[in-house]
Amino acid sequence: MAGACPPELAAAVAGAGGMGASGVVNDTPEKIERWVGRYRELVGDAPLQLNLWIPDPPASDAVGAQAAFLDGLGGSAAAAPGPAPDFTTQFEAVLAARPTAVSTIMGLLTPEQAAAARDAGVAWFATATTLDEALAAERAGADVVVAQAMEAGGHRGSVDPDAAEATTVGLFALIPWLADALTVPVVAAGAVADGRSLAAALTLGAAGVQVGTALLRTPEAGVDAGWAAALDGLAPEDTVMTRAYTGRLARGIATEYVRAWARPDAPAPAPYPHQRHLVARYRAGERGTLDRVNHWAGQAAARATTEPAGEVVARMWREAEVLLP
């Protein structure tokens, strides 16, 4: 949950018996160090996961049609943002922070990186959306495979960006499909937002679950008020898959901005990271139709509550225990 997981939220989850986590794809090494330092101040050596994206291959940076379309939505662009943090230095900073685990989406660590994580005593959680991806992760040395189902909010973890729309498998099909084929543990991600879904995931073969959208309305998350309010009672069908924010496929709320990119006259969003950089320019400039933050949401968003995060985690376990053998 890059940008939506302050240390206080992760610490609250850890304090309730879970593993705190943060998405650091947009963070410099210095910011990673500060975040982890604050987390350690709050909960000491409690379990911690830090998430990184494996970089995409270089893509064309031509964004003329996309910029013209954004102009038509109102607003104007500001200066281009600075370059994204370098993955290699981010990865080194993550290992230096000594989390319990480093998790990855969009691809696999190199053999050298996997060995470095192992030597540092940091487990590698690799995200997979298909069995082929999961088997490749296991062969590459992943300690855990995160099975990301189609219901999950935020970005799809598909290795091939062009295949993301074709790899939308639901949670109940994905967990046993992977659990039966792998020798490493499987963690379920997507639509786990209460005790019922937690118990179902464990029953289907998951060793644990990864919770995202269910925590977005908690006071510790501190997300944009409009985004948080839109999650209240949000129907599953009111979330959609879109590339409108970053160029990578992701599930979010069907806002006016997202719907605009689905119109017949809209160009295809630019490839990642160029769409993300373009959107950042328009967010920094004059306001228009563009959402000022990404309105990510999984299909179980209506299950999210405004309880403190620790209470959400504790309640989910209490509800699940009643249903499990």
Angle in degrees, CA 39, 28, 63, rounded to 5: 130
| % of the chain at pLDDT higher than 70 | 100
Tell me, what's the pLDDT at 128? 98
Q: What is the pLDDT of residues 105-123, one digit of tens each?
A: 999 999 999 999 999 999 9
* Spatial separation of the C-alpha atoms in residues 172 and 161, rounded to whole Å: 23
Question: For residue 21, which of 132, 116, 97, 80 has the smallest C-alpha distance?
Answer: 97
**Token digits for 26?**
């947009």
Q: Which tens digits make up the pLDDT trace of 199-232?
A: 999 999 999 999 999 999 999 999 999 999 999 9
- Lookup result for tokens 């908690």: 218
* Structure tokens that stand for 148 in this block: 């990301």
Please tell me the CATH superfamily of domain 7-323, with its number: Aldolase class I (3.20.20.70)
Residue identified by tokens 């370059």 is: 83
Helix and strand counts by DSSP (H, E) for the chain: 12, 10
**Where are the chain's structural domains?**
7-323
Q: Is residue 3's pLDDT more than 90? A: no
Q: Provide the pLDDT for residue 12.
A: 98
Reading the block at residue 250, the tokens are 């992701």
Assess contact for 137 and 148: CB atoms under 8 A: no
Least confident of 26-40, 71-85, 298-312: 71-85
The predicted model gives 163-180 an average pLDDT of: 96
